[in-house]
Amino acid sequence: MAGLTPALLTTALSQRCPGAVVAKLDIGEIEDGTNRRASVQLSYSEGVGPASVFIKVHGRPLHRLALLALRAWATEAQLASSGAERPVEHPESYAAAIDPRRLASIVVMDDVTTYDGRPNDGITPLSVAEVRDGLDGLARLHAAYWDRPLPANLGFLKPWRLTKTWALVSGANLANGIRKLRASPAAASLPRDATIRSLEFQFRESALRAASGPQTVLHGDAHPANTYALPGDRTGFLDWQLARTGHWSHDVGYFIAGSLDVEDRRRHERELIAYYLERLASGGVTAPAFDDAWTHYRATPAYGLATWLHTLSAGTFQPYATSLATIRRYGAAYDDLDTARLSS
């Protein structure tokens, strides 16, 4: 955040706030995860602008290399610059920039706390009503791009490919993640049928599943720590750096199983899948049949569980407590939905 200046932010705000001249900025607490991010308070010498903005910049070199390997280091900045429709609650952008030589990027966006938004911490589960609203938003996003060629301004979005070349690195990370999990208070979260070998295979298989069937634009990383709450049980989506194209179930399964308390998920997941399909149909899409949708949904916890074991292994992408809480939810879903049998 060292390069932030009043002049830079004046330029960033100019399109949405013409005439606003930033005189002073005050950078809040910097969160250092996959990217660095902070709320920045602003005061003005001329014109009118937001009291604060939220800024994301590239993270430490190791994190940038990880995102480069996923072809995702610049995705959020590209998306913010594209002007493409995202018919789901999300922070609107003021400006974004990319420096390919340094794998560096910056996005200046709305600070959702200025309109009563509350970023979720990933530890506390979302309510059923909040998940229901989030599914409504995801259905609108998916319907807007369902099974049709992408517009030119979204041509940078691609499906996520996980080839066998990932196997050795993935297996080693999963082994380390499982070792850390077994030494943690959440040791019982690891399903009995989830071995290093099976999870590594299922993790790569999830990419094949996501690349099959009707393709659409996905948020790509819809876990609860990437959401925020608004009054009236409304849910918005943050952190679009893993946006991609793929199968609707990738977003929906990852969001439901990762966000709900285990008992709430068990009681409500069927009705939530049915609700998503209903909202998808209301967007002009021929929605999948429920039985087919349910089978796809049951396969998704393998991706969530493996992803968060990778996250726990790395140790620097998410807080330790967030990783354990999220693994507990995906591990329970993996068992409940008999995911091992569907992903083998």
Q: Give the tens place of pLDDT for each residue, 219-229.
A: 999 999 999 99
What percent of the chain shows pLDDT beyond 70?
95
Q: Are 252 and 276 in contact (CB under 8 A)?
A: yes
Residue 161, pLDDT above cutoff 90: no
Element (H, E) at 205: helix 196-210
Nearest by Cα to 132 from 34, 22, 267, 315: 267
pLDDT average, residue stretch 309-335: 94
Length of the chain in terms of residues written: 344
* pLDDT surpassing 50 at residue 113: yes
List Cα–Cα distances, 224 to 63, 235, 254, in angstroms.
21, 10, 9
Looking at 69-197, which runs of residues are DSSP E strands?
A: 93-99, 104-110, 118-119
Distance CA 168, CA 200 (A): 9
Residue 75: its H or E element: helix 75-82
Residue 160: per-residue pLDDT: 82
Condensed to tens digits (0 to 9), the pLDDT of residues 43-89 reads 999 999 999 999 998 766 666 677 766 677 789 999 999 999 999 99
Rounded to whole angstroms, the Cα distance separating 266 from 256 reads 10
Question: Distance from CA of residue 251 to its chain's centroid?
Answer: 9
Residue 273: strand, helix, or coil: helix
Least confident of 16-25, 50-59, 265-274, 327-336: 50-59
Other Cβ atoms within 10 Å of 43 Cβ, number = 12
Quickly name the fold that domain 6-110 has: Phosphorylase Kinase; domain 1 (3.30.200)
Q: What is the mean pLDDT of residues 268-285?
A: 98
Residue 278 · residue 290 · CB < 8 Å: no
Cβ-based burial of 193 (10 A; exposed 0-12, middle 13-18, buried ≥19): middle
- pTM equals 0.94
Per the prediction, the chain carries an average pLDDT of 93
Domain coordinates in residue numbering, the chain: 6-110, 118-342
Tokens at 22, concatenated: 């930033």
CATH class of 118-342: alpha beta
DSSP assignment of 294-337: HHHHHHTHHHHHHHHHHHHHH-SSS-HHHHHHHHHHHHHHHHHT
